[in-house]
Structure 1
Amino acid sequence: MSKLNRRHFLVTGLAAGAAAAIPATAAHADEPDPAAETAQSLASRGLRTDPFTLGVASGDPDHEGFVLWTRLAQEPLAEDGLGGMPQRPFPVQWQVYADERLRRVVRSGVTVAAPEWGHSIHVELQGLSSDREYWYRFRVGPYVSPVGRTRTAPHPLAYGGGLAMAFVSCAQYEHGFFTSYRRLADEHPDLILHLGDYQYEYTKNTYTIPGGNIRHHEGPETETLANYRQRHAQYKADPDLQAAHAAAPWLVVWDDHELDNNWADEVPEKPEVPQPNFLTRREAAFRAYYENMPLRRTSIPRGIDMQLYRRIRWGRMATFHMLDTRQYRDDQGCGDGYKDCPASIDPARSITGAEQEAWLLDGFRHSRAQWDILGQQVFFAQRDNNAGPAKVTSQDAWDGYVASRRRITQGWIDAEVRNPVVLTGDVHAHWASDLKLDYDDPTGPSVGSELVASSISTGGNGVDSDPATHPFLTINPHLKFYNNQRGYVLTKIEREQMSADFKVVPRVTEPGAEVYTRATFVVEDRVPGVQQAYLRPLDPTILRRQPMTIEETVRLETERP
């Protein structure tokens, strides 16, 4: 089947195999649940220990509901990827509550955790009240899951109150503890975006930090469905990650490490090395990703394809355009890394693919949101690391697809999008920048804003530095902020402005570090570009003695096995 036909099928229809992901049956709180007793008695057979070892999660909220997720696993790190579960389906009860003390049930039902889908559960709720909090949990036999907090979006015609939204990226389990996930959970946000590199594919001691990794991956490099299930389970078993999932609904998209470093559509990282099983590996990675994420049934994978780009509306306040810059992109034009690459300006090349680009531009034209937010993976603004006439840019980012970036930027200009903001992960550092249509004219108007989240743990502790001394900011005057510590970005989206606190923890190589705000930037309504509102004084205990060089920045960002 051609690429076009495969892509079109996923946009217009449900994936084959959806029948295996059995939908939940819902009951109102005042109705008896005749399946409950049967579900408990059936589920208890074959369960020796608590199967809720991977926590709970919710995601993809709208004004009437959300997705609830869990996955049963008695032995999360089992090498066969089956989580120590018997090879049979288990009926699982779920309940949604209107109060944190779990006194008032508003929805309940039974769904089936099937072995074909790793005993994962995806419950899609509708008919709930808009713009309010809910709590939920699951039960199988005598075992009860942890409680999760979630919420619905405001009504499509309402703004609602201010939206507390956080976004994160890049959590390499081996490089440090997931302290930032725990601190993020403590913030009690309304919504969390994960912009990729949720897990890493390497076997232990392959991708290392100076001084050695803090903890280790189980199993080989992920290539099979069993490998990916085991790796997802190892990450999901982390208590800090579980706390973040239970704190708020998530919107997730992948980047590269959920499959293979720097992959592009059907091309692996190193195409010169024969990898005849790459598409089989891709199919396994996509299936495991769906099994382990709170995604709607429209994202059930079909073979090597999975519909992940989608649009989520938060009332009239914000529209989130969640992008997939991996599955449809042309391969990097001159290989990975920073290059002066003629292919980067080829107008025929795309990082989104034609269908996703058309979908995004159509979304701009029809948007009436106060804020249009692109949740995506790789650096959007130009970052030239050469002070001379040649452009030396990252070919794995939008700099490797200049025409694609310009078409999308021109698209939101032509559609008169009120406030375009791009959110980014991938590069293991905090950045803030103005967006331009023409980066060769630094005096030209800003037409949007980009906020970039550092990593949760990838790269180890990191160090603080004076952003004013960073050479990238000197060469690229539209870049306004840089910080190489671990953390996340916490935003407050209101009608008049969007504020962004760049949160950091001083260390991840030991657990329990406190979090603080390194800087705050503001985007004002109808004023494209970022404005610094706060900058914390440098901490001498974690301060670099010398300014960060371009070479060091590139190495920290691109160093891979």
Structure 2
Amino acid sequence: MTTYSAPASAHPVTRRTLLTAGTVGLASAAFVSTSAGTAYAATGTNPFSLGVASGDPWPDGFVIWTRLATSPLNEDGLGGMPDKAFTVAYQVAVNPDFSGIVRSGSATTDRSRGYAVHVTLTGLRPGTQYWYRFRVEGHVSQTGRAVTAPAAGADTGHMSFTVASCANWEHGHFTAYGHMADEKPDLMLHLGDYYYEIMPYGYPVGSGVVRAHKNGESRTLAQYRARMAQYKSDPLLQQAHAAAPWMVIWDDHELENNWADDTPELWDPNFATRRAAAFRAYYENMPLRASSVPRGTDMQLYRRLHWGSLANFHLLDTRQYRSDQANLDLVKVVDDDARDPNRTITGAAQEQWLREGFEASTARWDFVTQQVPFVQYDRTSGPLLWGDMDTWDGYVASRGRVIDAWRQAGVRNPVVLTGDIHEAFASDVKADFDDLSSESVGVELITTSITSGGDGSDSATDALDWNPHIKFNNDLRGYLRVDLTPDLLSARFRTVDYVSEVGAPVRTRAQFDVVDGEHRLRRISG
């Protein structure tokens, strides 16, 4: 069993793709710190303005990332960098002061890569903390912390991770990212809408536009690169990336609202070109392995992470392979169209890959890590079931097949992790959503947004009255913190009271536990 596995359909990693991703030899490199005011030969400013990141940890390594930009918001998306190749050195050490260096080398980047650097590290010790940094032309980056996964099948007494989603720049400050960084978990999961492609002032909320998007709506490679750079210029997001390794998946706004495979929300004859540009910019700006290098309009993003014997994370892509939304993508009655067994939110190949992952699992906990709400959520109190067609309520048969797959495979503790909806939810997954008195066969935890929706309020929807399987809902911003042992999952919904101003403190709004083998939520507080 490997700790990180892509599906069989993933593109093979060749020497050429590894070089494209920035993986190079392990030659040592001297790092000489310079003062913040040292002149940069091309523009006079520090090229590490977008921070550093690590991701996709496995027992013997992880990816480290940076992207050079001296003027991140330039409309051409190239960050003010001159048109030449840059050799970027890196170091990895077992101590934060960089005593005990275990890996060093260099990678080359240029305009064709958006000046991004991806280094795939191997040969490290499992279950170990490391620190890393980069250097180019006299400038040294900030230091990042990374963690390797435990050895395959190793007994693991505890792990912690955070779950985040939906960070609209215009809707507020990324305060929650700063609090996530302070917690220094083993792993951070981001479930999509990492950034928003929409035009400036294109998504009003009650608490107002706190800070404006630049460079119009993202449609071209230059615009996606520039928009991503604007987000990555945020110091709190940089702190979160530097604090722990990330596992990332996209949702819709990394490309366009509510897109479904090759179908845009609004008719667009250039959608394929736009999709290729968005995918390329996404890869350039995320700490992803070479198996995720885009091939035109395709990008392999679903993949699996094993954390010793404790947990499996099955990261899904519910955008790239889904059927177009039923009923014109509206909140409507869950009818025969939404229940059509031919409709899919995962695509057949990914669904089979997930089933095989369940069948092979020997982990104590299996996390279905994905984008949109999974459990049935009836939006009205009347006799008809009203659901959101962009969620699994619009793909009823897909949901049923996934539940059947984990039950037939005997998955010990299935947990669905979700984002998208800009509110926090905690729910029991029912064996049969047409009979809400049926047994609970798993749980779903939905993280609220980082900022999307603005300040929100400390309130819950009345719909919980007729959705008894949904145990908690809240409309504040924040993230989910999970502490995991073989016997217990403890989930804390961490919230801030406002994002329209800086500096909001964080608190635990509610806590739910799941006991090994119970397949249901226990409310601890909130």
If the TM-score is normalised by the length of the shorter chain, which range does it land in? over 0.9
- Among 285, 296, 300, which residue is 1:303 paired with? 296
1:484 aligns with 2:475: yes
What is the CA-CA distance between 1:209 and the residue it aligns to? Answer: 1.3
Q: Give CA deviations for 1:333-361 in whole Å, capped at 9, x if unaligned.
A: 11223111431100000000000000000
1:240 aligns with 2:236: yes
- Among 12, 28, 31, which residue is 1:33 paired with? 28
What is the CA-CA distance between 1:15 and the residue it aligns to? Answer: 9.0
Task: Please give the residue correspondences for 1:95-494 in structure 2 after superposition, counting only pairs within 5 Å.
Answer: 95-270=91-266, 273=267, 275-340=268-333, 341-465=335-459, 467=460, 470-494=461-485
Are the equivalent residues in 1 in contact too, given 2:31–2:140 (CA < 8 A)? no
What is the CA-CA distance between 1:47 and the residue it aligns to? Answer: 5.5
Question: In structure 1, what is the Cα distance between the partners aligned to 2:155 and 2:392?
Answer: 32
Question: In structure 1, what is the Cα distance between the partners aligned to 2:15 and 2:135?
Answer: 29
Question: In structure 1, what is the Cα distance between the partners aligned to 2:14 and 2:227?
Answer: 24
Are the equivalent residues in 1 in contact too, given 2:157–2:486 (CA < 8 A)? no
What is the CA-CA distance between 1:158 and the residue it aligns to? Answer: 1.0
The aligned counterpart of 2:83 is 87
Are the equivalent residues in 2 in contact too, given 1:14–1:300 (CA < 8 A)? no
Question: In structure 2, what is the Cα distance between the partners aligned to 1:437 and 1:526?
Answer: 15
Q: Give CA deviations for 1:149-192 in whole Å, capped at 9, x if unaligned.
A: 11001111212231111000000000000000001101111100
Question: In structure 2, what is the Cα distance between the partners aligned to 1:36 and 1:386?
Answer: 61
Aligned pairs, number? 514
For the structure 1 residues 231 and 496, does the alpha-carbon distance in structure 2 shift closer, same or farther, using more than 3 Å as the test? same
Are the equivalent residues in 2 in contact too, given 1:15–1:302 (CA < 8 A)? no
Q: Give CA deviations for 1:368-422 in whole Å, capped at 9, x if unaligned.
A: 1111001100000000122233111010000000000000100000000000000
Question: In structure 2, what is the Cα distance between the partners aligned to 1:64 and 1:8?
Answer: 20
Are the equivalent residues in 2 in contact too, given 1:15–1:301 (CA < 8 A)? no
What is the CA-CA distance between 1:530 and the residue it aligns to? Answer: 1.1
Are the equivalent residues in 1 in contact too, given 2:160–2:185 (CA < 8 A)? yes
Query: 2:508 is matched by which residue type in structure 1?
Result: T
What is the CA-CA distance between 1:58 and the residue it aligns to? Answer: 0.3
What is the CA-CA distance between 1:33 and the residue it aligns to? Answer: 3.0
Identity of aligned residues (%): 51
Question: In structure 2, what is the Cα distance between the partners aligned to 1:11 and 1:103?
Answer: 38
- Among 499, 509, 514, which residue is 1:508 paired with? 499
Where do 5+ consecutive residues of structure 2 fail to align? 1-5, 33-38
Question: In structure 1, what is the Cα distance between the partners aligned to 2:100 and 2:482?
Answer: 31
Q: Tell me, what secondary structure is at the counterpart of 2:328?
A: coil
Question: In structure 1, what is the Cα distance between the partners aligned to 2:330 and 2:169?
Answer: 24
What TM-score do the two structures reach when normalised by structure 2? 0.95
Task: After superposing the two structures, state which structure 1 stretch, 214-223 or 380-389, moved more.
Answer: 380-389
Q: Tell me, what secondary structure is at the counterpart of 1:373?
A: strand
What is the CA-CA distance between 1:443 and the residue it aligns to? Answer: 1.6
Are the equivalent residues in 1 in contact too, given 2:31–2:135 (CA < 8 A)? no
Are the equivalent residues in 1 in contact too, given 2:21–2:293 (CA < 8 A)? no
The aligned counterpart of 2:36 is none
Question: In structure 1, what is the Cα distance between the partners aligned to 2:14 and 2:468?
Answer: 46
Are the equivalent residues in 2 in contact too, given 1:432–1:479 (CA < 8 A)? yes
Task: Please give the residue correspondences for 1:17-56 in structure 2 after superposition, counting only pairs within 5 Å.
Answer: 18=17, 21-27=20-26, 33=28, 46=42, 48-56=44-52
What is the CA-CA distance between 1:18 and the residue it aligns to? Answer: 2.8
What TM-score do the two structures reach when normalised by structure 1? 0.89
Q: Tell me, what secondary structure is at the counterpart of 2:281?
A: helix
1:526 aligns with 2:495: no
What is the CA-CA distance between 1:14 and the residue it aligns to? Answer: 4.6
For the structure 1 residues 322 and 211, does the alpha-carbon distance in structure 2 shift closer, same or farther, using more than 3 Å as the test? closer
Q: Tell me, what secondary structure is at the counterpart of 1:517?
A: strand
The aligned counterpart of 1:556 is none
Question: In structure 2, what is the Cα distance between the partners aligned to 1:16 and 1:127?
Answer: 18
Query: 1:505 is matched by which residue type in structure 2?
Result: V
Q: Give CA deviations for 1:197-240 in whole Å, capped at 9, x if unaligned.
A: 00001111111112530100001100000000000000000001
Question: In structure 1, what is the Cα distance between the partners aligned to 2:230 and 2:505?
Answer: 24
What is the CA-CA distance between 1:134 and the residue it aligns to? Answer: 0.5
Query: 1:514 is matched by which residue type in structure 2?
Result: P
What is the CA-CA distance between 1:331 and the residue it aligns to? Answer: 0.3
Question: In structure 2, what is the Cα distance between the partners aligned to 1:385 and 1:336?
Answer: 15
CA RMSD of aligned residues (A): 1.9
For the structure 1 residues 391 and 97, does the alpha-carbon distance in structure 2 shift closer, same or farther, using more than 3 Å as the test? same
Question: In structure 1, what is the Cα distance between the partners aligned to 2:15 and 2:192?
Answer: 25
For the structure 1 residues 22 and 376, does the alpha-carbon distance in structure 2 shift closer, same or farther, using more than 3 Å as the test? closer
Question: In structure 2, what is the Cα distance between the partners aligned to 1:25 and 1:107?
Answer: 11
Are the equivalent residues in 1 in contact too, given 2:175–2:504 (CA < 8 A)? yes
Q: Tell me, what secondary structure is at the counterpart of 1:377?
A: coil
Q: Tell me, what secondary structure is at the counterpart of 1:53?
A: coil
The aligned counterpart of 2:68 is 72
For the structure 1 residues 193 and 19, does the alpha-carbon distance in structure 2 shift closer, same or farther, using more than 3 Å as the test? closer
Q: Tell me, what secondary structure is at the counterpart of 2:412?
A: coil
The aligned counterpart of 2:3 is none
Where do 5+ consecutive residues of structure 1 fail to align? 1-6, 38-42, 536-561
What is the CA-CA distance between 1:529 and the residue it aligns to? Answer: 1.4
Are the equivalent residues in 2 in contact too, given 1:20–1:114 (CA < 8 A)? no
